[in-house]
Structure 1
Amino acid sequence: MTNPILQIFTTNSLRTLSRAQFLANRLNGSTVEPVHVLISLIEQKGSLSAKILEKTGIKLTSIKQVILEKNGLDENFKKIINQELAPPKNNNRPAQQSSALDRKNHCPDDRLTTIIKNPLFEFNSTEINKKNEKATKLIDIKLSPHLKKIIQKAISCAASFKHKYIGTEHLLFGVLELNDDFVSQILSKSNIAPSQLTRHLKNILETTSKFSEITDPFSKSSAGQNVAAKEPEAVPDRSILKFFSCDLTDEKIQQNIDPLIGREQEVDRLINILARRTKNNPLLIGDPGVGKTAIVEGLAKKITQGEVPAILARKKIITLDMGLLLAGSIYRGEFENRLKQVIEEVKANPQIILFIDEVHNIVGAGSSSGTLDAANLLKPALSKGEIRLIGATTPAEYKKFIELDSALERRFQTIFVNEPSIEETIELLGGVKKNYEKYHRVHITNEAIESAVHLSERYIKNKFFPDKALDLLDEASSQVKVKSGADPLLKKLAKFEDIKKKLIENKQLAIKEENFDQALFFKKRENEITRGILELKEKIKKSQTKMIGKITEKNVVKIVAQITNLPLSVLSLGDKQKFISLEKELKKKIIGQTEAISQVSSSIRKHLIGLADPKRPLGSFIFLGPSGVGKTELALTLARTVFDDPHALIRFDMSEFAEGFSISKLIGAPAGYVGYRESGKLTEAVKNKPYSLILFDEIEKAHPEIHNLLLQILEDGRLTDATGKEINFKNTIIVMTSNVGLNEFNRQQAIGFSSVGSQETVDFENLKEKISTELKKKFNLEFLNRIDKTIFFKPLGLSDLQKIVELQINDLAEKLTERHLGINISTSAKKFIAQYSFSPDQGARAIRKTVSDLIENPLAEKLLKDEFNKGDIVKVDYKGKKLVLEKD
């Protein structure tokens, strides 16, 4: 019977050791030196060590030269050297010779099996490739002290890299670790530093750490191909599926799976399809995050709990990892071989039900230059009912990949998984909250659950229930846990584990250096630290049963605000006073438009409180009025006030969209046109900033097709771009300005400005009716009816213009504050600027320029001349029909 320890050596490594023994006997008849092993490693063609040494440039000629340079070598020795270091004609010859020699010089007390006494070097013989067994029967290796050390270090190397075999690369590592002078001379002759070669070898060993685990299941023993030796195959010790899958019915996996709430219809249909005789392959189709995988996990939980019909009792649901199956399959046919073996194993075990998430990935997977893809390999087994396969994919991917392959499509029975309703999502979150409470050690209130559902429905439109609501609860709980501070016991545990790691490293180093007394000391300290770690873990386990916080609506709102960049006041309405006093805030910046501000504020409040249609934008308005009365300024102020963001305004000059084809600028070019798949200006802007005010300036100049495009936004709060992606407009405010009736407004502006007191020469209400009639002629009724409010801006009077002058002076005062100066303006000066700036077709636009020309420019000159010092007050007055600047 073969010694178990010999089974861990590969055929090449055994032949290398045999060849080294043979060389030692031929050359000096005493012990095996490291140089003999090095020569054998070079001669072992096809081995990993031979390739490494060949790449580094070490040749037999270099070794021969170093050996012959030694003193005291006679001609007979040189003859043997030249014979033995010549290129071998038959690689098997040394092994045969050495076996005969070893049988002759048999020494039972000096065998390979007697040197491995360290418990660190334990291998499971059943996991060793059985094709080495035949080779080990032919080889009986006698060991010398040097060879023992090489083998010990080789085994230590294999153990450290978690290899289940001893190959030539490990023997090479052992040779280098001995630091033999003769070997160092050989490496020096080849211009190679031993440390450099050792580092290179370690890198190779690290990359092959998992090689044997992946390749062993797929390698077939040569003995198994012998017809005469055919026997019924035993059940394999290791399943191929273990490498590429996860058992959802496993007890440990089930501990981390949330219970399935609802979905009774989908689960019943799933069971019915699995119970079919043929085509028993259900395909779950649903949007991302609706719970397709959760349904399969829920079925697995029902199987483990015995809550399924007898036909599914004791079944196992195995998740197949297609990515892992493809990984590392660099050679032609390697992927097909893996998948074929997986299919054969599933066929042989009718208790297995395969589950492939993102099942559309099997189409084209592993296919290259004429090879079959995963879909074609699975088709025969799927149609005959030889395997059961559950798939999951999205509607878009199903249409793109599976639906196009009718042969694959007919093998699946589709189950459509719809997004749950708000009520179903609340019930679902209530059912799974215990798992989140246990993990985060927090109490999740019912109001937090309802808040997560309603807020995610309103403000998170790129995800689906229940995923988006669960995300909010999870992150809110995580935030509370993180803010509670780190547990000091966890810090202490981390410190202990670091100490244990260092002790293990020191122990292994001591063993490597054969300092066993020191190794025992480190082992003793390691045991003490291990006991301390176990005690700490027990304390931590007890402490983690205590709750550290409570999740309320406030916590959820805070997370939504962070995700959406929306002000907390908009989400929670906690700052109700802000929206109650919205008109007051707007009036601080907008002068003379009390009625317009009131109408806009009322509409916005209605939407924010949830009384308006939730499908539509927060507000949609068309602003009408003469130039320079505050239409654009109101839009800017509204964006800043509602969204707390000075950059929350997206502006479009509609004169740029006068042609029909210019619609592509807003939503992107259609397929087949230049710029296809490039983002449109409107859709991209809203996608990046979904909480904003969109201003369409001079809307009447846009092409009618643009008006039709806006209908979808105004009615449904959404827009589909050229690539088919839906953009959400429900959290935007739509403002359109128009010059319809501009001439009538300008006449009213001129007359109104010259009127005295409350006298009005033109009835403004009649003007509104007249312009409304004109507006209906310009735009379709279906467009106008979808707008929340048509806002008419009144012409500005003299008193209004004086207030605007005061606003401009206040802005200037803020700048002067940095120079420690103040400024005052007299009533006569304000009146002069208002009259000087007024123009019926400009409104208040010229005030900014007048203040700049008559006040700011002269003031800048005086400041340069140091006419005003720190603490001075600049007085602006009207004297001698002009403005003067002087100290107050």
Structure 2
Amino acid sequence: MRPDTFLEHLSSHLKHSIAHAITLAANFGHPEVTPIHLLLALAEEPGAVAAEILNRVKLSSVTIAAALKCIPTATATPQISPPAKAGTATLVMPELNRSAKAALERAMLIAYERQHQYVGTEHLLYALAETPEPIFAAILQTDKVERQRIITEVEGILEGTSRFPEMEDVKDVMEQIQDIVSEQSPHRHPTTQKCKQERAPSATEVFTTDLTGAASQKTIDPIIGREREIERVIHILCRRNKNNPVLVGEPGVGKTAIVEGLAKKIATGDVPGALKRKKILSLDLTLLISGTIYRGEFEARLKQLIEELTLDLNAILFIDEIHQIIGAGSNQGTLDAANILKPALARGQLRCIGATTIDEYKKHISSDPALERRLQAITVEEPTPEETGAILRGVKTYYEQFHGATITNEALDTAVEFSGKYIHDNFLPDKALDLVDEAAAAVRVNRPPHPLENKREAWRDALVDAIRKKETAIHAERFEEAKQWKKKHDELAKKLSTLEKQIAKEPLSARSRVKRGDIIRVVARRLGLPEKLLSVTDWERLEQMRIFLKTQIIGQDAVIDRVIDRLREAHLGLQPPNKPFASFLFVGPSGVGKTALGRHLAAALYHDERALIKFDMSEFAESHSIAKILGSPAGYIGYRERNRFTDELRRRPYAVILFDEFDKAHPDVQKLLFQILDAGELTDSQGKKIHFRHAVVILTTNVGAELYRTGGMGFSASDATAAPENSDWREGLVSRLKEQFGASLLSRLREVCLFAPLQNAHIEEIVALHVDALSQTMRSRHGIEIRPHATAITTMAREAKNDDFGVRNVENVIQHTVHQLILNILERKRRKKSYTLVKEADVYRLI
């Protein structure tokens, strides 16, 4: 490429400005032409668009000239080239330095990308405005001019500039620029340009993937929501220094999807001007490390990559699982990737986006303050069910196209609901998408094949066969035969493409619809539960729970009815949305079933006993124990460690939270319940909110237990036996609760449930349940069945009754009587299949 062909595309003002910049460098005695020389030349070019823009933003040429005076002058006199003829000599003018060349290249690329008819001073000014030169930033600061304002002004000019088709390839442009540089350097070898035409791939091409490229965009799903996080990423990327956002969140909340969504916005131009024409390059750290055998090989690769990214002002590096750069590539005293990247990250020369989990961020990045201060953490919270529903609706088209099935909105809503309630080893929206994907796959596999799909598979097999036979013919040098197979291959490919379009237009049958039942079937298989158990509605399940709980919690039918009624109200939406789903205070002596009701309630509501999050409040008797709930404050041991309570609730928002023996907790701990019951949320030591809006909160207490055993406060023991039905006794117990907790706490609770003391008949029923459970265990393990006689049940119930221990004493009685009898039977070689438990002459026997 000849320089004169390159110059044809330059405006006359730009030609004059470049020549003037070279003259300025010579006049100042500078050995090189820098971007600042070009900037001053633009400012002093009368009638140029760039000069008008600089005048409009009030960037003075005097300020630029003053900055140039600070650049060191050449230490030697201007070099005189050898005389071409006797009595003649040529003055060698200053050369363009690397930054000036990069600015000219960038200006040409801007003109090419916008298909403009020429390269003008406005293009060069745009390129100069993006330069990371510190002296340029100092000039802007002197005249109080914002870099973004210059870019915005130039953008307005460029949008109205006409386009042209003359420049067919940007590589030609780059070659022409190199020609000019070659002619300026007398020491450059004339064959240099020819050698560069067959260059090796760059480090960015080998070790990164362009997410904004057309190939990547085809595989990226659209981003739904997350506007706040994307806006925050954009703001940090546009900073001058420390412009390196890192997305921190639990696995599956959509950290990588946010970066891919930003890449899609850049590709479509839906970003601010400062990010237009940028490209996000995803780093393959494994590929970067692989094959580095010798010492220094990894550092050389990474330094080359950093150098290329630094020169490319449009490049933004994305490192997924960024914590892996710590220690990556280090061996026997060599630097790891993190330490190599730190200088570039600190100076703002390299823009980087990272993504990692909360655990890895605390473990690796927070422990390295030098690295942490170079990164700007952005917390990515798990989306709400409403946001997850919107995400699923936004991407369902891609799943429908892949599986060839229609996914109903009812199925999407069910996936959000059931994944939140029953799946706790992952986070939204990932776990909801997993259910949809698996359900659609099941529908796709189980439906009978469509006739057109059978034809498509046959043609695909024929296409593969044609390719194989064509290659075989080529290897055997039967080129005429290969030509025939090539022709057949093209015909089949064309037919297959037409058939694919026809299948896409075919209406999907009813069997190809993913419905609510398909999602429930997937969840049931995961949990190992009957499908019918999950298929019932909330209203039906609550009615079934009422019956189930009354068979498990004996003698507390009135309490169970109150609990179920409050849960039904919550399911109807009568509960305020900013409060816990339900809240109860269980009051009663030890052993009447308060904790057991909470345990069975969790299992019945969420089909998982692990849905009960229990706290023994006797462990929170000291004021500092509040850290066990909120986490340690900053500066204390354990500050950066995970907190069991907050982590468990974030993982299981649908749960029963049981604060057992709440009256034993310190008053400071009790006050936390005010915030939970009022706002349905709690703020931990790191400022993160924990939501209780889907949780059932239960407090238990033994306050007033003495009123169950004695008359107390003017009431007789018979009053205690009548318990909740006696209004005077109830008022007396409520009065004790107000003294202990205060009316402010009681008024915030949805229901105060007073458990009734257990009667003899209740204890007999409980004993029968325990013996029956023991009989089932023996039947399954040893083939022995135990049937208790009524008199034995009555006698054991009388022995087990204890006002201090309640039903807990039943287990002790059975252990000391029945267990010993069973051991005696199991020691026998010959034994029966069925035994009856009786008590004869004050002795229990199995006969």
TM-score where L is the length of structure 1: 0.55
Q: Equivalent residues in 2 for 1:311-390 (5 A)?
A: 315=277, 317=279, 319-321=281-283, 323=285, 326-327=288-289, 331=296, 334-335=300-301, 337-339=303-305, 342-343=308-309, 346=312, 354=316, 356=318, 373-374=340-341, 376-377=343-344
Number of aligned residues? 635
Look up the match of 1:227.
187
Cα deviation digits, residues 100-143 of structure 1 (max 9, x gap): xxxxxxxxxxxxxxxxxxxxxxxxxxxxxxxxxxxxxxxxxxxx
Give the alignment partner of residue 590 of structure 2, picking from 600, 624, 627.
627
Q: Secondary structure at the match of 1:596?
A: helix
Matched position secondary structure for 1:629: coil
Q: Deviation digits for residues 230-260 of structure 1, max 9, x if unmatched?
A: 4684775566343344445644444334456
Q: Which residue of 2 aligns with 1:874?
A: 836
**Residue number among 590, 611, 620 corresponding to 2:553 in the alignment:** 590
Superposition CA RMSD, Å: 6.1
Asked whether 1:793 is paired with 2:759, we answer: no
SS at match of 1:477: helix
Cα offset for 1:792?
0.9
CA offsets 1:750-780 (integer angstroms, 9 cap, x no match):
x999869x99699733222222222222225
Q: Distance in 2 between matches of 1:812 and 1:458?
A: 32
CA distance in 1, matches of 2:792, 2:263: 78
Which one-letter code corresponds to 1:227 in the other structure? H
AA paired with 2:797? A
- Matched residue, 2:254: 289
2-structure distance, mates of 1:816, 1:272: 68
Contact 2:222 2:261 in 1 (8 A): no
- The separation in 1 between residues aligned to 2:568 and 2:752, in whole angstroms, is 17
Residue 540 of structure 2 aligns with which residue? 577
Tell me whether 1:606 sits opposite 2:569 in the alignment. Answer: yes
Q: CA deviation at 1:592?
A: 1.7
1:655 paired residue number: 618
1:150-189 residue pairs with structure 2 within 5 A? none
Pairing 1:808–2:757 present? no
CA–CA distance in structure 1, aligned partners of residues 228 and 694 of structure 2: 35
The structure-2 alpha-carbon separation of the partners of 1:325 and 1:595, relative to structure 1 and needing over 3 Å to count, comes to same
For the pair 1:825 / 2:789, whether they are aligned, the reply is yes
3-state secondary structure, aligned to 2:733? helix
**1:33-52, aligned counterparts within 5 Å?**
none
Q: Name which of 517, 522, 533 aligns with 1:554.
A: 517
Judge conservation of contact 2:422–2:606 (CA < 8 Å) in 1: no
The alpha-carbon deviation at position 848 of structure 1 amounts to 3.6
Between the aligned partners of 2:614 and 2:487, the Cα distance in structure 1 is 70
Q: Deviations along 1:501-560, whole A, 9 cap, x unmatched?
A: 99999999xx9xxxx79x999999998998999699669847964647212233445566
Match of 1:298 in 2: 264
* Pairwise CA distance, 1:740: 0.9
Contact 1:629 1:844 (C-alpha < 8 Å) held by counterparts: yes
1:462 to partner: Cα distance? 9.8
Structure 1 partner of 2:728: 766
| Residue pair 2:620, 2:626 contacting (<8 A) in 1 also | yes
Inter-partner Cα distance in structure 2 for 1:626 and 1:273: 58
Give the equivalent residue in structure 2 for 1:779. 741
Q: Secondary structure at the match of 2:561?
A: helix
The verdict on how the C-alpha distance between 1:318 and 1:709 changes in structure 2, with shifts beyond 3 A counting, is: closer
How far apart in 1 are the matches of 2:336 and 2:800? 80
Q: 1:522 to 1:754 in 2, by over 3 A?
A: farther
SS at match of 2:583: strand
Structure 1 distance, partners of 2:643, 2:685, is: 8
Q: Note if contact 1:293-1:392 (Cα within 8 Å) is conserved in structure 2.
A: no
2:809 paired with 1:839: no
For structure 1, which segment, 797-806 or 725-734, has the greater mean C-alpha deviation from structure 2 after superposition? Answer: 725-734
- d(CA) in 2 for partners of 1:844, 1:787: 27
Q: Partner amino acid for 2:731? A: E
CA contact (8 A) 1:837 1:850 kept: yes
8 Å contact kept, 1:445–1:550:
yes
Q: Which amino acid aligns with 2:727?
A: E
Q: Which residue of 2 aligns with 1:735?
A: 698
- In the alignment, residue 734 of structure 2 is paired with which amino acid? S
**Structure-1 residue corresponding to 2:605:** 642
Query: Structure 2: how far apart are the matches of 1:629 and 1:405?
Result: 57
What's the % identity of the aligned pairs?
29
Alpha-carbon distance in 1 for matches of 2:598, 2:739: 25
C-alpha separation in 2, matches of 1:450 and 1:376: 48
Query: What amino acid does structure 1 have at the position aligned with 2:704?
Result: G
Verify the 8 A CA contact 2:583 2:697 in the aligned structure 1: yes
CA contact (8 A) 1:263 1:295 kept: no
Mapping 1:99-178, distance limit 5 Å: none
TM-superposition CA deviations, 1:637-669 (whole Å, max 9, x none): 323322333555444433333233344455655
Give secondary structure in 2 for the equivalent of 1:626: coil
- Of the structure 1 ranges 422-431 and 455-464, higher mean CA displacement relative to structure 2 is found in 455-464
Distance 1:581 1:267, change over 3 A: closer
Give the conservation status (yes or no) of the 8 Å contact 1:752–1:796: no
Report deviation, 1:443.
0.8
8 Å contact kept, 1:747–1:840: no
CA drift of 1:583 comes to 1.9
2:629–2:645 CA contact under 8 A, matched in 1: yes
Residue 833 of structure 1 aligns to a residue whose secondary structure is: helix
Q: Distance in 1 between matches of 2:529 and 2:785?
A: 38
- 5+ long unaligned stretches in structure 2: 1-181
Name the amino acid aligned to 2:563.
V
Which has the larger Rg?
Answer: 1
* Distance in 2, Cα, partners of 1:849 & 1:616: 41
**Retained in 2: the 8 A contact 1:289–1:468?**
no
CA deviation after TM superposition for structure 1 residue 602, in Å: 1.9
**Cα distance in 1 for residues equivalent to 2:787 and 2:726:** 38
Shift of 1:586: 1.1
**Distance across 1 between alignment mates of 2:690 and 2:627:** 15
Aligned match of 2:440 in 477, 481, 488? 477
When structure 1 is superposed on structure 2, of 468-477 and 793-802 the one drifting more is 468-477
Alignment of 1:229-308 (within 5 A): 229-230=189-190, 233=193, 236=197, 240=202, 241-248=204-211, 250-258=213-221, 289=254, 292-303=258-269
1:435 paired residue among 388, 398, 419: 398
Q: How far apart in 2 are the matches of 1:363 and 1:822?
A: 64
Q: Residue 653 of structure 2 contacts residue 692 of structure 2 at CA under 8 Å; is this kept in 1?
A: yes
C-alpha spacing 1:343/1:609, structure 2 compared with 1 (3 Å): same
CA contact (8 A) 2:566 2:582 kept: yes
Say whether the 8 Å CA contact 2:241–2:348 is kept in structure 1. Answer: no
CA gap of 1:435–1:296, structure 2 versus 1, over 3 A, is same
Distance 1:859 1:300, change over 3 A: closer
1:47-69 Cα deviation digits (max 9, x unpaired)? xxxxxxxxxxxxxxxxxxxxxxx
- Give the structure 2 partner of residue 202 of structure 1: none
With the length of structure 2 as denominator, give the TM-score of the two structures: 0.58
Once the 2 structures are TM-superposed, how far is the Cα of residue 853 of structure 1 from its aligned partner?
4.4
> Which amino acid is the alignment partner of residue 584 of structure 1?
I
User: Does structure 1 retain, via aligned residues, the 8 Å contact 2:657–2:696?
Assistant: yes
- By how many angstroms is 1:678 displaced? 4.9
Give the superposition deviation at 1:799. 2.6
1:504 and 1:323, CA in 2 relative to 1: closer, same or farther beyond 3 A?
farther
Q: Structure 1 residues 232, 505: closer, same or farther in 2, change over 3 A? A: closer
For 1:664 and 1:779, locate their aligned partners in 2 and report how far apart those are by CA, in whole Å: 21
Output the amino acid matched with 2:768. Answer: E
